[in-house]
Amino acid sequence: MKEKTPANNEMMDLEITAKITAKDGTVIEKKVRLADAIPGFDDFDFNTKEGFLRDFDTLERAILKARNEVSEGITEAYGEHLSKKNSRSKK
């Protein structure tokens, strides 16, 4: 992640939500929030190629990390819901 400096001090949070909604109204939702994960709007470096690539890489890595975490979380929650439903139907 990018180092905070006086010219580069506004990092923003990134939040990704995954939601599964069944026809019966059952909702499974998982949220992932990464604090200070991406460059602020005013701090994204468009002045140099190297700065742009660095900031874009920071953005892309944060998005991929959050996506992977939310995918894992929603898949796990879905499996737990199936397991509970399956154990209830066997009783």
CA max distance for the chain: 65
> Would you list the domain boundaries of the chain?
11-89
Give the least confident one: 3-7, 13-17, 65-69.
Answer: 3-7
Q: What is the DSSP string of 21-81?
A: E-TTS-EEEEEEEEEEEEE-TTT---SSHHHHHHHHHHHHHHHHHHHHHHHHHHHHHHHHH
Q: Read off the pLDDT of residues 9-44 as tens digits, 9 standing for 90 and up.
A: 689 999 999 999 999 999 999 999 999 999 999 999
